[in-house]
Structure 1
Amino acid sequence: MVENYDEALSFIHGRTKFKKSEKSDHLNRMRKFMALLGDPQKDLSAIHVAGTNGKGSTVAYLRDLLMSQGYTVGTFTSPFLVRFNERISVDGKPISDDDLVDLVNRVQPVVVDLDAHYSEGGPTEFEIITAMMFLYFKTQVDVAVVEVGIGGLLDSTNVFTPAVSVITTIGFDHMKLLGNTLPEIAAQKAGIIKPNVPVVAGRLPDSAMQVMVQTAKTNHSQLYRLGHEATTTIKSEAGWQEKFDYHFKDNHFKGLKISMLGDYQVDNASCALTAFILYQEQTHQPINQSDIAQSLAKTVWAGRFETINQEPLIVIDGAHNEPAFQELTALLKQRFSQTEIYVLVGILADKQHDKMLATLRTVPNLHIILTTFQGPGTRAVTDPEKLAAQYQDDDRIEVIDNWQLAIGAISQRMSADDLFLITGSLYFISDVRAFFKAS
């Protein structure tokens, strides 16, 4: 038995991250684990969310939409920004330390049993967290919104049948695990599509969408695509918000507003709204336009173009792969073309840092400061000196190894009208966020 919160976290984090096994065995271990716990996932009403980017924001929009109708809503997300407990939350509030300890004590004997008797060995860290989530939500929530960890097909969360499946975006990330082409990556994400369960797909590249169409057809699942069955029209908007019209089936919304910036956030909100409407239809509940408008307008998701300081204006964004950098770059060009922009960038070594930086460099009014940070566990961080050496001809790029010193130095250089953006890794901005909260 674990006695306290620190021991509970040590037990969770002490597990292996991945196991080398035949792909077909991966979910067999998770299914065995769940069966020994009484299969709590089978009693859960839930929406399953996969995608390269946009999962967290989509989960947040869905959470607030469902809460606006009086549901108690569980959310399962990763990674956390400030504290581990955020990953398993109810109505936006992280699980308590005591409940976490209780859950670890419930799963630990089963883990010990599997360690001893299952041929593949016991569950991984993420499998344990996933199992704890299912156990907790079974008794605590009316509906859960479950975010996939990586991929979909072989992800530990993929052991239940949702009410609706959502696939937000498809792009290049985690290629070692998911494949090197968009159709290969799409096939992994499409693994969450279940027989006769409706699917919402965001704006996917054609080759990825073809995979969704085929997979949905094979599973007799109705597919609702953003830009086809569900449509949005973005209205130009000043200030810190986006405004758009939305149309799906008999639902017409004019002038919906969200407080998260970027066309991609309109897409995330629209995916969430489509999934919400489908969920309400299944449960024979009404669709209230004013509740929806109020809900979307107030949704926030920490670390997504989030303002953490007003004077000077400092924003953090968790963009950590090439597709996210493309979206971020488009937002900077669209909304901050008249602004001098300073960007502090720290990137994990296993990401496409060359492409990410190349994309960012297309913003003309930009100063890029490369830095380093303490990566999670044993994961290495890109060497900023080596990366900068590739761009010796670009005098907009410099290196300040210590990110705390970099924040101080950049803040001194800025004028009142400039923007200071900190990005490159969710783990990096988690450290930055904690630094600002403490100071």
Structure 2
Amino acid sequence: MNTYSESISWIHSQLKHGINLGLARMEWLLEKMGNPEKELKAIHVAGTNGKGSTVTFLRSILNEAGYEVGTFTSPYIETFNERISINGNPIADNDLIELVRVVKPLAEELEKGELGPPTEFEIITVMAMYYFANIRTVDFTILEVGLGGRFDSTNTIQPLMTIITNIGMDHIHILGDTIGKIAYEKAGIIKRKVPLFTGAKQDEALSVILEEAEKKQAETFQLGMDFSVENYKSAPGGEMFTLSTKETRYENLKVSLLGRHQTENAALAVASLLYMKEKGLLQLHEKEIRTGLRNAYWPGRMEILQENPTVILDGAHNTEGLEALLSTLQERYREKKIKLIFAALEDKDLSHMLPLFKNINAEIYLTEFDFPRAAPAAKLKEIGKMDDASAEGDWRSLMRKLLNELAPEDVLAVTGSLYFISEAKPFIINLLNG
């Protein structure tokens, strides 16, 4: 591998192996690489919604406190390299080439054995672990679970802290068709005597998570019980809230990520870091918490690309995510004319997602994009029984048309699959700048 494009092509070529949950291939690769995962001071984050935002809050606060932080997240919005980042900055192309040179021969050796070939996600995961342990060592590594938890490739680490965000119905064909079954898969990241912070709300999810934590003797801290969000209010350019724990109270914290749910993700991040401070694992001051929350930025999540008229991107790719988006739009832009563009993958819970659009006073435009599992616009309209919605096959023409028609007081929200958002973002920015 001599070039960046060759390296990326090889990584993506592993997509042909699909999703193949299990830890045996990861353990084999990591052992061959000298077990880099054992060198990491890691925080492990699982959940249905809010993982990426929680990772971002954690990273931003730790950066303010002077720590070098590696993050592993998925999928990417702007560039593939952002999946492996240092202090919020994607790794350099040359580093990615070097990682492929290390991993590729091992992947080829593994493929010839009885365990079979590694998946694309497994390859990227071992690349991240090796990078943070051997190429660019960091103070802390934050790993976001890719799918589920129990058999996810990130579940080969022994973390300092485990975080499980809110649980919802997603990937039901793989993780199970009830909140309890999905929570069981997420709870698979809980490790013996490793503290757990959770923002799960449903009784069914909590009972599963708490039972698993008890089995593992993991000290557990729950949102709404051990720490809580109080005095929530929308503010210009973000949200305000008070964080209350049993030992501390921080009033008028501000996050720049939009939506009430982001205050809960922020609370999870702060409460877990305060625990680590209490245990002597890090130094942290109130000013660093406040600045870190305010500066946290996560592309494609209620991201405002322009104001007057307002153009928003949000990867609301499941029922809970879409509910949060629509709630935020109603709360912040009640008096404005809202237009919504939505595209999704066919394997999502569309029968529950699409009817949610009937709860908002907005013009709905359903579209499609070039991706193997993307749902046709006409099928979205049929499933949602949305007679008033427009079904448009060409999303680029639709974007041009709506952006040209927007009045200064209008709001255009582009949402759905994160794969769609990653395609749409550069196109929209180009139109806005043109």
TM-score above 0.5: yes
Q: Does 1:433 align with 2:428?
A: no
Amino-acid identity (%): 38
User: What do you get for the CA RMSD once the two structures are aligned?
Assistant: 1.6
State the match for 1:245 in structure 2: 242
Deviation at 1:283, TM superposition (A): 3.3
Alignment of structure 1 residues 23-422 onto 2, 5 Å: 26-116=22-112, 118-139=113-134, 140=136, 141-363=138-360, 365-375=361-371, 379-389=372-382, 394-395=387-388, 397-422=389-414
The one-letter code sitting in structure 2 at the alignment partner of 1:49 is V
Deviation at 1:247, TM superposition (A): 1.4
Measured in 2, the distance between the counterparts of 1:405 and 1:308 equals: 19
Measured in 2, the distance between the counterparts of 1:99 and 1:286 equals: 30
Deviation at 1:86, TM superposition (A): 0.5
TM-score, with normalisation over the residues of structure 1?
0.94
Measured in 2, the distance between the counterparts of 1:284 and 1:101 equals: 33
Count of aligned pairs between the two proteins: 429
Contact 2:308–2:409 (8 Å) recurs in 1: no
Give the gaps of 5 or more residues in structure 1.
Answer: none
Measured in 2, the distance between the counterparts of 1:183 and 1:406 equals: 40
Q: Per the alignment, do residues 403 and 20 of structure 1 end up closer, same or farther by CA in structure 2, a change over 3 Å counting?
A: closer
Deviation at 1:312, TM superposition (A): 2.2
Contact 1:74–1:145 (8 Å) recurs in 2: yes
Question: After alignment, is 124-133 or 411-420 more displaced?
Answer: 411-420
Give the gaps of 5 or more residues in structure 2.
Answer: none
Measured in 1, the distance between the counterparts of 2:415 and 2:18 equals: 30
Contact 1:203–1:227 (8 Å) recurs in 2: no
Contact 2:227–2:246 (8 Å) recurs in 1: yes
The one-letter code sitting in structure 1 at the alignment partner of 2:342 is V
Q: Per the alignment, do residues 253 and 343 of structure 1 end up closer, same or farther by CA in structure 2, a change over 3 Å counting?
A: same
Per-residue Cα deviation, 1:170-197 (whole angstroms, up to 9, x for no partner): 1000011101111110000001100000
TM-score, with normalisation over the residues of structure 2?
0.95
What's the secondary structure of 2:191's corresponding residue?
Answer: coil
Measured in 2, the distance between the counterparts of 1:17 and 1:275 equals: 38
What's the secondary structure of 1:104's corresponding residue?
Answer: helix
Measured in 2, the distance between the counterparts of 1:48 and 1:391 equals: 36
Question: After alignment, is 316-325 or 270-279 more displaced?
Answer: 270-279
